Amino acid sequence: MHANEEADITLEALDGLNKGELLQVSTDCPGSFRSVPEEAIDHGYTFAQDPVKKVRDIHFIFCIKKSRS
Protein backbone atom coordinates (compact mmCIF):
# COMPACT_ATOMS: atom_id res chain seq x y z
CA MET A 1 0.00 0.00 0.00
CA HIS A 2 1.26 3.49 -0.80
CA ALA A 3 1.37 6.44 1.59
CA ASN A 4 -1.43 8.30 -0.20
CA GLU A 5 -3.69 5.25 0.04
CA GLU A 6 -2.96 4.98 3.76
CA ALA A 7 -3.77 8.67 4.20
CA ASP A 8 -7.10 8.20 2.37
CA ILE A 9 -8.01 5.18 4.51
CA THR A 10 -7.08 7.10 7.66
CA LEU A 11 -9.29 10.03 6.65
CA GLU A 12 -12.22 7.68 5.98
CA ALA A 13 -11.80 6.14 9.44
CA LEU A 14 -11.48 9.54 11.13
CA ASP A 15 -14.60 10.78 9.38
CA GLY A 16 -16.59 7.92 10.91
CA LEU A 17 -15.62 8.74 14.50
CA ASN A 18 -17.42 10.95 17.00
CA LYS A 19 -16.03 13.75 19.14
CA GLY A 20 -13.82 12.40 21.92
CA GLU A 21 -13.00 9.11 20.19
CA LEU A 22 -9.42 8.05 19.40
CA LEU A 23 -7.98 6.34 16.35
CA GLN A 24 -4.62 4.58 16.35
CA VAL A 25 -2.99 4.10 12.95
CA SER A 26 0.00 1.78 12.58
CA THR A 27 2.05 1.45 9.40
CA ASP A 28 5.43 0.36 8.12
CA CYS A 29 5.34 2.61 5.04
CA PRO A 30 8.01 5.35 5.38
CA GLY A 31 6.04 7.80 3.23
CA SER A 32 3.12 7.62 5.65
CA PHE A 33 5.20 9.33 8.34
CA ARG A 34 4.68 12.52 6.36
CA SER A 35 1.51 12.02 4.29
CA VAL A 36 -0.86 10.70 6.98
CA PRO A 37 -0.31 13.59 9.43
CA GLU A 38 -0.35 16.23 6.67
CA GLU A 39 -3.66 15.02 5.24
CA ALA A 40 -5.29 14.57 8.66
CA ILE A 41 -4.22 18.01 9.88
CA ASP A 42 -5.35 19.60 6.59
CA HIS A 43 -8.79 18.10 7.29
CA GLY A 44 -8.94 19.53 10.82
CA TYR A 45 -7.89 16.50 12.91
CA THR A 46 -5.35 16.65 15.73
CA PHE A 47 -2.95 14.24 17.39
CA ALA A 48 -3.60 12.90 20.88
CA GLN A 49 0.18 12.45 21.10
CA ASP A 50 3.20 12.92 18.86
CA PRO A 51 3.75 10.24 16.20
CA VAL A 52 6.00 7.39 17.36
CA LYS A 53 8.53 5.81 15.03
CA LYS A 54 10.13 2.55 16.16
CA VAL A 55 12.50 0.97 13.67
CA ARG A 56 10.14 0.32 10.69
CA ASP A 57 6.83 0.80 12.49
CA ILE A 58 5.08 4.16 12.76
CA HIS A 59 2.16 4.81 15.11
CA PHE A 60 -0.23 7.77 15.06
CA ILE A 61 -2.99 8.41 17.60
CA PHE A 62 -5.60 10.96 16.59
CA CYS A 63 -8.16 12.57 18.87
CA ILE A 64 -11.46 13.72 17.43
CA LYS A 65 -12.07 17.21 18.80
CA LYS A 66 -14.67 18.43 16.35
CA SER A 67 -18.24 17.29 16.11
CA ARG A 68 -19.28 15.50 12.94
CA SER A 69 -21.34 17.69 10.65
Domain count, the chain: 1
57 domain residue, yes or no: yes
pTM of this prediction? 0.78
Domain that holds residue 10: 3-63
In a domain, 68, yes or no: no
Judge whether 39 lies within some domain.
Answer: yes
Domain presence at residue 69 = no
Q: What is the pLDDT of residue 12?
A: 93
Query: How far, in Å, CA of 32 to CA of 50, rounded?
Result: 14
Rounded mean pLDDT for each run of 10 residues along the chain, 69 residues in total: 82 91 90 88 89 89 72
Q: Could you tell me if 52 and 18 are in contact, meaning their C-beta atoms sit under 8 angstroms apart?
A: no
- CATH number for position 29: 3.30.110.40
Q: How many helices (H) and strands (E) does the chain have?
A: 2, 3
